[in-house]
């Protein structure tokens, strides 16, 4: 187990949101229609805002003088603790929506439960985030149904996205000793209690979208040690180049 | 020299929301309290949304405004609980929003995350008052607003989302 499980856990929460927020921001100026361009930029802003709060709290908990920017910009890929699902490249719009939907359903349940955290600061951040998460989930679930139950072309693309992304959902509920230690002291929820609720939500929306759920994915915990797909490094290179090339720059 | 929290709140009525400059941060409900001790003051504010880019500007404005009113030391503390809700926006401020062209929020209801096939609630047009409007998107020009269109006067308009 890491020396400081709460720090480790806050990195996981913060990194998921930072990485997905960055991915969604890549659509800014490239959205298929103006309303969606604006929607994804808004959702991105929510996630990056949450990441800022969570990584800021992580820095305080760590107590080594690192702030949210230091943790976001000056760590290497091997030190990132996000789920591989959120680092997958955007692909087409069906792919982006499917990735968001799978994460949003998980995120909504997680932050809803974190409102009861024994850690008051974490509970406060979650109380704010849960309202945002509900909007995100409504957005992505409605679009997934529109694509799946849309034209032959949109159905095909949504099914391909689901087939490709499903394998990355196996890590979402793979609890390790950090999760278990914090759950025992009431700081975080028991992931195994959230999983069936997530599965029911996903099954319902996928059925309404007339899509087919792929077979169960492998459950991996490697990302907890910093294992990532090749895509994270490219994302971080773009996200971190400015503060690394010009330390302390402000604008 | 202002002496109590009421004085501080009165002064902060002059600090407007930078993105909706017709209502003050006090009317918006994000000022959660103030503690005065001599010429030192601490103001508690809570964010509307986690990523609201106006928060930093608001903090700077609070500090500048209170220093201009004689406080030597001003600290702004961000608090997260209880989470901000649009129910804290007063009736006067709702009328100001309407006059500014933004449909004010209704009561903040239980957030239902998945509502497939629902009919979106219609917001009354702030320009002509018609109820014959349609939602274009739950996401607008800022985190706190959604996009709508009035079928009666053919104007697009924004609505302050109820959260």
Q: What is the pLDDT of residues B3-38, one digit of tens each?
A: 788 999 999 999 999 888 999 999 999 999 999 999
Look at residue A250 and tell me if it is in a domain: no
Look at residue A251 and tell me if it is in a domain: no
Q: What is the CATH number of the domain that holds A90?
A: 1.20.1260.10
Pick from B85, B114, B118 the residue to mutate for testing the A interface (most A CBs within 10 Å).
B114
Mean pLDDT by 10 residues, chain A (251 residues): 92 98 97 95 97 97 96 96 96 98 98 96 95 95 96 98 95 92 97 96 97 86 77 96 91 72
Contact B113 A47 (CB under 8 A): no
Write out the residue range of the structural domain in which residue B27 sits. Answer: 5-84
Look at residue B143 and tell me if it is in a domain: yes
Asked if pLDDT for residue B67 goes beyond 70, the answer is yes
B79 and B39 part of one domain: yes
In this predicted model, which residue has the larger pLDDT, B105 or B120?
Answer: B105
What Å distances lie between residue A39 and A115, A145, B146, CA to CA?
25, 17, 9
Give the ipTM of the model, two decimals please: 0.89
**How close does chain B come to A202, measured CA to CA in Å?**
10
B30 and B78 part of one domain: yes
Q: What is the pLDDT of residue B52?
A: 87
Q: What is the pLDDT of residue A221?
A: 64
Q: What is the pLDDT of residue A67?
A: 96
Number of independent structural domains in chain B: 2
Q: What is the CATH number of the domain that holds B44?
A: 3.30.300.130
Pairing mode, strands B20-24 and B31-37: unpaired
Q: CA–CA separation, A51 vs A17, rounded Å?
A: 5
B80 and B13 part of one domain: yes
Look at residue B90 and tell me if it is in a domain: no
Going A19 to A22 to A26 to A29, the CA torsion angle's sign is positive
User: Are residues A81 and A225 in contact, defined by beta-carbon separation less than 8 angstroms?
Assistant: no
Look at residue B96 and tell me if it is in a domain: no
Nearest to A128 among B53, B83, B113 (CB): B83
Q: CA–CA separation, B4 vs B41, rounded Å?
A: 9
Asked if pLDDT for residue B113 goes beyond 80, the answer is no
Over residues B74-90, the pLDDT tens digits come to 999 999 888 899 999 99
Asked if pLDDT for residue B158 goes beyond 90, the answer is yes
Q: Which of A1, A5, A17 is nearest to A61 (CA)?
A: A5
* Token pair for A134: 């509900």
Neighbouring residues of A6: CB distance < 8 A, sequence distance ≥ 6 = A61, A119, A182, A187
Write out the residue range of the structural domain in which residue A152 sits. Answer: 5-219+227-245
Mean pLDDT over B125-144 rounds to: 92
Contact B113 A138 (CB under 8 A): yes
């Amino acid at each position: 187990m890491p020396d400081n499980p709460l720090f480790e856990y806050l990195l996981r929460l913060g990194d998921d949101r930072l990485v997905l927020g960055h991915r969604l921001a890549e659509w800014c100026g490239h959205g298929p229609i103006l309303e969606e361009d604006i929607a994804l930029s808004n959702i991105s802003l929510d996630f990056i805002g949450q990441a800022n709060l969570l990584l800021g709290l992580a820095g305080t908990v760590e107590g080594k003088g690192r702030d949210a920017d230091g943790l976001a910009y000056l760590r290497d890929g091997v030190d990132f603790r996000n789920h591989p699902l959120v680092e997958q490249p955007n692909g087409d719009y069906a792919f982006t929506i499917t990735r968001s939907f799978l994460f949003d359903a998980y995120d909504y349940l997680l932050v809803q439960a974190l409102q009861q955290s024994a850690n008051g600061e974490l509970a406060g951040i979650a109380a704010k985030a849960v309202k945002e998460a509900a909007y995100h989930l409504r957005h992505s679930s409605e679009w997934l149904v529109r694509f799946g139950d849309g034209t032959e072309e949109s159905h095909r693309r949504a099914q391909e996205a689901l087939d490709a992304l499903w394998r990355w959902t196996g890590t979402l509920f793979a609890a390790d000793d950090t999760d278990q230690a914090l759950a025992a002291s009431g700081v975080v929820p028991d992931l195994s209690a959230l999983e069936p609720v997530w599965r029911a939500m996903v099954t319902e929306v996928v059925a309404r979208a007339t899509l087919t759920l792929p077979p169960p994915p492998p459950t991996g915990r490697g990302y907890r040690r910093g294992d990532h797909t090749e895509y994270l490094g490219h994302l971080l290179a773009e996200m971190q180049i400015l503060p690394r090339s010009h330390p302390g720059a402000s604008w | 020299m202002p002496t109590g929290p009421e004085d501080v709140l009165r002064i902060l009525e002059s600090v407007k929301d930078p993105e909706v400059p017709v209502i003050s941060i006090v009317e918006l409900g994000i000022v959660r309290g103030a503690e005065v001790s001599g010429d030192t003051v601490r103001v508690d504010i809570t964010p509307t949304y986690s990523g609201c880019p106006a928060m930093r500007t608001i903090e700077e404005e609070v500090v500048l405004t209170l220093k201009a009113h004689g406080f030597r030391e001003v600290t702004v503390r961000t608090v997260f609980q209880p989470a901000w809700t649009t129910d804290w926006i007063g009736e006067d401020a709702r009328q100001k929003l309407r006059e500014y062209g933004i449909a004010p929020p209704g009561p903040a209801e239980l957030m239902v995350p998945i509502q497939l096939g629902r009919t979106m609630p219609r917001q009354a047009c702030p320009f002509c008052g018609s109820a014959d409007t349609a939602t274009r998107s739950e996401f607008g020009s800022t985190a706190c607003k959604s996009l709508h269109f009035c079928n009666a006067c053919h104007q697009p308009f924004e609505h302050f989302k109820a959260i």
